[in-house]
Amino acid sequence: MTRWYGWGLTTLGLTAGATLWEIAGRHTSPAFLVPLSETLARLVELGRSGELWVALLSSLLLFATGLGLAVLIGVPLGLLLARIQSLRVALEGYIAFLNATPMAALIPFILSIMGFGFAPKVLVVLLFAVFPLLYNTVEGARSLKPELVEVARSFRSGEMALWRDVLLPFVLPFALTGFRQAIGRALVGMVAAEFFLSASGLGMLIQQDANSSDTAGVLGVILLITLLGVALMELGNALEHRVAVWRGLRR
């Protein structure tokens, strides 16, 4: 009953928002806003021409590569920083400095060093996405109760067994929370990289439509990116919930 009530409220809210968009679009200059129906029609048109799918695949490849590297770097580094205190003390100042730096401001610097191409764009997405994973993993590993480690040690568990049987299962839900947060950051990094580095993917479509004053096209692509982000974050939520249930069963 509660689930259906939640779905009903969500549907009601989305319907109200779509209605307001449609009404506002019909009473606003097309240079600023167009109705939702016109936006969706333009999005369908881009899909039929094939232009949208080529751009979407290009953007998804960039997004997946950058986010995947963020996971491969952020989670192991977070575990190391949590387990090796001297390493954490030595690096936490640099990590805090980089995390506080506006990543978009680094794009010209990355461009001057690496030029145009796929690799610098992947680096931009990586920088946007890695810190939520890193910080959540560190906090998860640091919150591990010493009693659990002592029990593992009492059973003569080595360092590798401690990581495999205690640390990784305990930290996984925290890492998934960071992964869910990193999805949104990676999407922002993807669009920023496609804007400011070599134009490609969905960012290129937005630029082209903006230059031709195609408001419906711009809003349509932005709507697609938003829906993609919501879908991926819901997937992250589902994975996080499944892992939480799994940990509860293991207990």
Look at residue 249 in the predicted model and tell me its pLDDT: 43
pLDDT, position 93: 79
What CATH architecture does domain 35-250 belong to? Orthogonal Bundle (1.10)
Cβ of 154: how many Cβ atoms within 10 Å? Answer: 8
pLDDT of residue 153: 67
CB atoms within 10 A of CB 77: 18
The tokens for 78 are: 């977070």
Contact status, residue 26 vs residue 39, Cβ threshold 8 Å: no
Output the tens digit of pLDDT for each of the chain's 251 residues.
Answer: 466 766 777 788 888 888 888 888 888 877 788 888 888 999 898 888 888 899 999 999 999 999 999 999 988 888 887 777 788 778 877 877 877 878 877 888 888 788 778 888 999 999 999 988 888 888 777 777 766 666 666 666 666 766 666 677 777 788 888 888 899 899 999 988 888 877 778 888 888 888 888 888 889 999 999 988 888 888 877 777 776 655 544 44
Instruction: Specify the pLDDT at position 14.
Output: 80
Q: What is the pLDDT of residue 77?
A: 86
| DSSP code string of the chain | -HHHHHHHHHHHHHHHHHHHHHHHHHTS-TTT---HHHHHHHHHHHHHHTHHHHHHHHHHHHHHHHHHHHHHHHHHHHHHHHH-HHHHHHHHHHHHHHHHS-GGGGHHHHHHHH-SSHHHHHHHHHHHHHHHHHHHHHHHHHTS-HHHHHHHHHTT--HHHHIIIIIHHHHHHHHHHHHHHHHHHHHHHHHHHHHHSS--HHHHHHHHHHHTT-HHHHHHHHHHHHHHHHHHHHHHHHHHHHHHHHHHHH-
CA distance to 85, 109, 167, 235, per residue, from 81 (Å):
6, 28, 13, 28
131, two tokens: 């810190």
The domains of the chain are located at 1-33, 35-250
